[in-house]
Structure 1
Amino acid sequence: MRSPRSWFADWHEDGGDIAIVLEDMSPSEQGDQIDACGIEHATLAVEQLVKMQGPRWNDPTLADIDWLQRRDAADAERLSALIGMVLPGFLATYTDAILRDVGQAGLDFITTLASKISDYIAAKDAPFTITHGDYRLDNLLFATTPDGVPCAVVDWQTPGHGNGVSDLAYFIGAGLLPAARREYEWQLVDQYIAGLESYGHTIDHEWVKNHYRREAISGVIMAIVASQIVGRTERGDKMFEVMATRHLLQGIENNALSTF
């Protein structure tokens, strides 16, 4: 996977100040979560995702890396409690947008999901791999000239060891406008599967597709929780709005709640 090279990184243990010097990735520009992207950039993004996950797909030694984030039953209970705590604030802010862009089915989806968080987490079964945890357009850089790096991945705050299809569904669900997602999502899923197979892995295609349908939920959860725990800005509010509505449509249209 192509990411900016780190030239220097240090932090002050007492004060918590951090200094990081990264490779200059110009000429490139950041993706825009609100505007979404076309199939060309989406294809590049999936290509980079495969380059991260393919080499370590179903690698048992990942379990020895203790700083990678993982989900367990206790995490499921904490996440369920957290969603219960922040959901009223989320609905107070975004109900109108959900009703406008998704309809009552969007609110019903959230209500049902909130009661099934533990089941959703438990359904994240192996094979596992490296996960980015926030694989979306705002965290991707795309070349603006032919001699630039086609796509580079940034924002490594949440690397994990888990179900890699969640990164794929999370990117597709909000990275494309709904009409484009409907047109291209299975093409991108097939690209992902073929990419993993190019590393010599035997991939259960239906397993990947079933998890793709389910993992629309990951974007809904991110929208609910993150929108309520970060500082609010005008752009941030709009970003979480489109994240919520696009992933709700993705989840409803792919029957995500019926997959577990």
Structure 2
Amino acid sequence: MAHRSPRELIELYWDEVWNNRRAELIREICADPIVRHDPGSVTALSVEDQIARVRQQSEKLEPCFTHEVLLADDTYVTSVWNMHTRKGERIELCGIEVFKAVDGKFTDCWNSSYTPGFWGREGDASVPADLPPPPLIAGADQITPQWIQAVLQQAGLEAPRVSLLNTKPIGHGNLSATLRTEITYNANAADAVRSVVAKLTSGIGQAVEIAAAHDVYRRECEVYGFLGETPPLATPRCYWRNVGPDGRTINLVLEDLSERTRPGNQIAGCSVAEAEAVARELAALHAAFWDDARLDVAEWLYNRAADAETAAVTNMLAAKAFRERFTGRADPAMLDAIDAVVADLPRHFAAIPRGRTLVHGEPRVDNVLFEDGAEGPRAWLIDWQFADCGSPMFDLAYFLSGSLTVEDRRSIDGTLVERHHAAIAAKDPSYTLDHARAEFAGSLPLALYFSVGAILAMPPSEHGDLLLLTLAERNVAALRDWGVV
């Protein structure tokens, strides 16, 4: 008995079953079951399953398939196809499928992943010149070649067609998820961007609520625009930034510095040489934006003074949670000092030095990348989630009080305050050293406020708990050394 050839079967499958919506014909041309092979999975579909699938998609979309390439032998047939929908908003897809036929019926099908658009033809551009902006995405699974292609184009970067990505999480972000995406192209990419770092919405619900309440996601995106294309300090280039209207979704794509830098380790702390490198970058930032009129109208900046009442309530809760979590694990005198500072927080907020420059707002050492060079380390600042208009001594106090061991900080903090003052005084001679020292001491309680408050966004974990304890111990020591408590 003669059987239909694989080529005859595929023509019936596309033209009659799909294009003419004759789902019942599946009984004649497909085995029961047919085995569908997708990337990473295998599914056995009964004839009834196949008929139901075709009917569902035909009713909803009315797909129409055409062959771009059709190749068959006595057992297999390969179809390189294009598809467009005839119902509703037009959708275009392309793909490759290989079918195996036994005794006149398809028994197996191997499916490639479907890709938006049609297969390219001679004369088509490798990458269209007018790609739409990347849509707002919710998670790592939505970082696709098409999305990255649009990001690169929006950044003004020439690149071949993106063909493959490898995305993995990096770091220990508290309020967002940070991922590194390696990019593979379909052509010579010697001069193209080979990887990017993306910051997306945190997977921790409480962290997202905190980020939204403090407008963290929008602020971090806005600050990159404020810094401009040639920032006065070392910070990664921003390729793309977008925030959801409710402040709960962030898409921030940055230059990947991981192959030339190493991340700071907050728990271990940084060296004196590394601290000097960070202080140099902070001084460059603060001097560049000293008395910048644009800061007066940048409504996205974090306003610590305006947040005083809410912060006092939040930190009372945080101090209580801190004591509950660490009683028996932390020095009781340190816990008492935290309670004392938090109880007096309204006064500390009222005494926040007047803002006169752009400050990073949270320059911990784990928000710094270090690049080693012949002349010593260079510091790259990242994570601008709490940027503010404030005193230049705020950033320096925040950094030094939490990012070095107590002994190393004591050996250098006075000298770095003097150097920092000199950088600002070169712009404004009225800024005195006594003023700088007073602002440094007055900023130290705010560093502890951030360290203790972080417990509300950090569920118990070995790494997180050690981080919180280390920060608090260093913060309290600095407060004592500078006569604040």
TM-score range, shorter chain: 0.7 to 0.9
- Are 1:139 and 1:155, in contact at CA under 8 Å, matched by a contact in 2? yes
Whether 1:28 and 2:261 are equivalent positions in the alignment is: yes
- C-alpha change, 1:8 and 1:124, in structure 2 (3 Å) is same
Q: Counterpart of 2:370 in 1: which secondary structure?
A: strand
Deviation at 1:58, TM superposition (A): 3.1
Give 1:191's match in structure 2, choosing from 419, 433, 442. Answer: 419
The residue identity in structure 2 corresponding to 1:85 is: L
- Are 1:219 and 1:243, in contact at CA under 8 Å, matched by a contact in 2? no
Cα separation, 1, equivalents of 2:375 and 2:250? 32
Larger radius of gyration: 2
Deviation at 1:2, TM superposition (A): 1.1
Q: Counterpart of 1:202 in 2: which secondary structure?
A: coil
- Are 2:267 and 2:466, in contact at CA under 8 Å, matched by a contact in 1? yes
Deviation at 1:43, TM superposition (A): 0.5
The residue identity in structure 1 corresponding to 2:309 is: E
Give 1:5's match in structure 2, choosing from 212, 237, 247. Answer: 237
Aligned to 1:162: 390
- Are 1:219 and 1:244, in contact at CA under 8 Å, matched by a contact in 2? no
Deviation at 1:69, TM superposition (A): 1.3
Q: Counterpart of 2:300 in 1: which secondary structure?
A: coil
Whether 1:41 and 2:274 are equivalent positions in the alignment is: yes
Aligned to 1:70: 303
Whether 1:175 and 2:407 are equivalent positions in the alignment is: no
Scaled by the length of structure 2, the TM-score of the pair is 0.49
Q: Counterpart of 1:82 in 2: which secondary structure?
A: helix
Give 1:87's match in structure 2, choosing from 305, 316, 319. Answer: 319
- Are 1:10 and 1:18, in contact at CA under 8 Å, matched by a contact in 2? yes
Whether 1:111 and 2:339 are equivalent positions in the alignment is: yes
Q: Greater CA deviation, 8-17 or 151-160?
A: 8-17
Aligned to 2:381: 153
Scaled by the length of structure 1, the TM-score of the pair is 0.87
- C-alpha change, 1:148 and 1:155, in structure 2 (3 Å) is farther
Cα separation, 2, equivalents of 1:55 and 1:253? 30
Aligned to 2:290: 57
Unaligned runs of 5+ in 1: none
CA-to-aligned-CA distance 1:111-154 (integer Å, 9 cap, x gap): 32222111111111325211111101101111135499822111
Deviation at 1:33, TM superposition (A): 0.6
The root-mean-square deviation of aligned C-alpha atoms, in Å, is: 2.4
Cα separation, 1, equivalents of 2:374 and 2:274? 14
Cα separation, 2, equivalents of 1:201 and 1:216? 24
Aligned to 2:469: 241
**Larger fraction in strand:** 2
The residue identity in structure 2 corresponding to 1:41 is: E
- C-alpha change, 1:57 and 1:14, in structure 2 (3 Å) is closer
Q: Counterpart of 2:408 in 1: which secondary structure?
A: helix
Unaligned runs of 5+ in 2: 1-232
Aligned to 2:446: 218
The residue identity in structure 1 corresponding to 2:242 is: D
Size of the alignment, in residue pairs? 252
- C-alpha change, 1:133 and 1:96, in structure 2 (3 Å) is farther
